[in-house]
Chains A and B, each alone.
Chain A
Amino acid sequence: MTTTDVTGGTGKSVPTGGANPVDVPLDAIEAETEGVTRGTLVLRRFLRNKLALTGLVVLALLYAVSLTSPLFAPWAYDEYDYLSFLQPPSASHWFGTTQIGEDVFAQTMRGLQRSLTIGLLTAAISIVIASVVGACAGYFGGWVDRGLMWIVDLLLVLPSFLIIAVISPALRGSSWILFVLLLGLFAWMITARILRGMTLTLREREFVKAARFMGAPSGLIIRRHILPNMASLMIIDVTITVGSTILLETGLSYFGFGVQPPDVSLGTLIRDGSTAALTTPWLFLFAGGLLVVSVLAVNFIGDGLRDALDPNARRGRNVREDEDPEVEVERA
């Protein structure tokens, strides 16, 4: 089993869950790592990955444009142009107009901003729950482990789409923050399982045992020794959650089970536009295109981070193959 130094030269190391060590010439690694901190190394590897870098730039640009668009766009999202109903894209309405004269560009930017924000916030909530549950279940074992994993299994039986859709009538007329909490509440299970598996192996390692025998309280051990050593996986997982959450959120919003009017998200925009999709494609094509581009960008970033944080991964796209199939399945 090969190891990755996560903590920047303090000698703690973490198994990367790999089954088959990959033949990387040792001197090549040494040449690459000489006199460099891990952070620089990861950054350097990430920047070398063209696709990941493109993804990051595109995502940052999209988010920045969606946030600042009210400053330079000719129309605001709540303005109506009574002289142009259902017009295709033009110089004054960049993405066209709707049936009641709303500017599609302004609407789309507002939806994009909401969808991206929801994705990022949900991933943050999810990783907090997942790391607490996963680390506790793995570290304490016994009934804590059995109880927590039973909850995880239970929540995995039903697609989270279904559970959130069933709860959604309670959301009618409430703010989107509540919806984010709900998404976060049902997004952590798979990550928690992976983190529990990693904690199980970490718990048996010398530095954790040493800390325990020195009398360090469990909370401190989890915070100082367990969680930092799982940081790589947590970072990678956050990006995966951002992507899948955006897809889930837009799907729920498409059915009216997610973001509630007057708020808009890319999902509600696509739903509204799709009723007449065949004759007025600009109503949903821009929102749909931006949605695909954003998720694609997030996925590329996730891939690049995995390559950068996990040196055992092979070059190219088949980055997942060095992982344990069980872990891999759970993440899917």
Chain B
Amino acid sequence: MARFLARRLVNYLALCLVATFLAFALAALTFDPVGKLQARNPPPPQATIDAKRAELRLDEPIPQRFVLWLGDAVQGDFGRTVVNQSISEELPRRIGVSLRLFLLGTVVGIGLGVIVGVASAIRQYRFSDYAATFFSFVILSTPVFLLGLLLKYVALELNTAAGAQLLVFTGETTPGFQGGFFEALVDRVQHLVLPTLTIALGQIAYYSRYQRSAMLDVLGSDFLRTAQAKGLTRRKALFKHGLRTALVPMATLFAFGFGLLITGGTFTERIFGWYGMGDWLVYGIEQDDTNITATVTLFVAVLVLVSGWLSDVFYALLDPRVRLR
């Protein structure tokens, strides 16, 4: 198994590099970082523009720029933005914000998704099953930004009805917040609920559909009947034998669900004013900033591939046949 996983890892690393180069090259080709400078009125002197071009290495060939950027990047220096701020200084905070959102969203999404899926499979064609199906279909047809906006709207109504600021929908903490540990925690949670819900709802809908199918397959299988015939209670047979088998295809799904999560995260961060990586990507593109874009792309590629690799690991853990390869 170790060789299988190692081979996949090497393959992923190569893909990661090429993908980052692709994004870097596309950004370098389409972005025009000095355009805003040139458009100023009165126009700045040519020397200033030339100096900016030299600073951003705009006149060097793109592959060379990429190699220089990558050389610095592996040493932890991701370059400077168009307005000459250090990317590396801001990077850890942004990554922290995004990962918190992603991790919570994934944990809540997979957890509830599996529960909802299993519950609707066990109670197939009952009201709860139809309700869950309808809910997933509607959620999967709703773009994340609309979901976020609607949740904001609902939260506002809720706050008005309660007469207090129960849920907060801008930023991840109250700026300049003063108070003890407990108050700070409450403050964080108040900010956390809506964005996490926005991310998690899509994940729940997505995973529960597949979990339901997988579980239905297992429910009709012979080995489950055998387990019950041998004297296991239905509950025990379902959870010890059934669920484990039904979780195998979910492991592969996980990698793809994560891609969905990253795109959704961009919208969520933007709507709720979280300064994470997704927000940075949008900012980077708006500012014609190649370095920011390349850094975020590298982050996304690494995340996608780590999740792909993790799902290989889960797969190997859950399905013994893979381990033998």
B278 CB to nearest chain A CB (Å): 10
Q: A39: CB under 8 A from chain B?
A: no
Spot the interface stretch: B57-65, B98-106, B144-152, B230-238: B144-152
B26 — which chain A residues lie within 8 A by C-beta? 163, 166-167
Spot the interface stretch: B12-20, B66-74, B176-184, B192-200: B12-20
Beta-carbon contact of A166 and B293 below 8 Å:
yes
Separation of A23 and B158 alpha carbons in the complex (Å): 51
Nearest CB in chain B to that of A274: its residue: B149
A330 — which chain B residues lie within 8 A by C-beta? 256
Q: A83: CB under 8 A from chain B?
A: no
A274 CB to nearest chain B CB (Å): 5
Q: A157-B16, A169-B32 are in contact. Are A332 and B206 (CB under 8 A)?
A: yes
Interface code B19-54, partner A: CB below 8 Å = 1, 0 otherwise? 100110011011110000000000000000000000
Which A residues, 160 to 208, have Cβ-Cβ distances below 8 Å to chain B? 161-163, 165-170
Which A residues, 99 to 114, have Cβ-Cβ distances below 8 Å to chain B? none
Beta-carbon contact of B217 and A321 below 8 Å:
yes
Residues of B within 8 Å of A, CB-based: how many?
61
A254 — which chain B residues lie within 8 A by C-beta? 143, 145, 267
Q: A169-B285, A295-B141 are in contact. Are A325 and B252 (CB under 8 A)?
A: yes
Beta-carbon contact of A154 and B19 below 8 Å:
yes
Beta-carbon contact of A270 and B149 below 8 Å:
yes
The A interface, classified by DSSP as helix, strand, loop or mixed, is: helix
Nearest CB in chain A to that of B258: its residue: A159
* Interchain CB contact (< 8 A) of B23 among A153, A166, A320: A166
* Interchain CB contact (< 8 A) of A163 among B23, B142, B156, B253: B23
The B interface, classified by DSSP as helix, strand, loop or mixed, is: helix
Q: B168: CB under 8 A from chain A?
A: no
A86 — which chain B residues lie within 8 A by C-beta? none
Separation of A291 and B140 alpha carbons in the complex (Å): 12
Nearest CB in chain B to that of A281: its residue: B153
A296 — which chain B residues lie within 8 A by C-beta? 137-138, 141
Beta-carbon contact of A292 and B19 below 8 Å:
no
Q: A165-B281, A329-B249 are in contact. Are A251 and B300 (CB under 8 A)?
A: no
Separation of A277 and B147 alpha carbons in the complex (Å): 13
Beta-carbon contact of A255 and B30 below 8 Å:
no
B30 — which chain A residues lie within 8 A by C-beta? 166-170
Residue among B27, B146, B212 with max Cβ neighbours from chain A (10 Å): B146
Beta-carbon contact of A158 and B22 below 8 Å:
yes
Nearest CB in chain A to that of B145: its residue: A254
User: Given known contacts A158-B22, A320-B209, what 9 new A-B pairs fall within 8 Å (CB)?
Assistant: A157-B16, A158-B304, A162-B263, A168-B30, A251-B144, A318-B216, A321-B214, A328-B210, A329-B253
State the A residues within 8 Å of B (CB): 20, 153-154, 157-159, 161-163, 165-170, 243, 247, 250-251, 254-257, 267, 270, 274, 277-278, 281, 284, 288, 291-292, 295-296, 298-300, 316-318, 320-321, 325-326, 328-330, 332
**Closest 9 pairs (CB-CB, A-B):** A295-B141, A321-B213, A325-B249, A170-B30, A296-B141, A157-B19, A161-B263, A329-B252, A169-B30
27 inter-chain pairs at a CB distance below 8 angstroms, sorted by A residue, are A20-B217, A157-B305, A158-B301, A159-B262, A161-B263, A163-B22, A165-B285, A243-B141, A254-B143, A255-B282, A257-B285, A270-B146, A270-B149, A274-B145, A277-B152, A291-B143, A291-B146, A292-B142, A296-B138, A318-B212, A320-B209, A321-B213, A321-B214, A325-B252, A329-B249, A332-B210, A332-B256
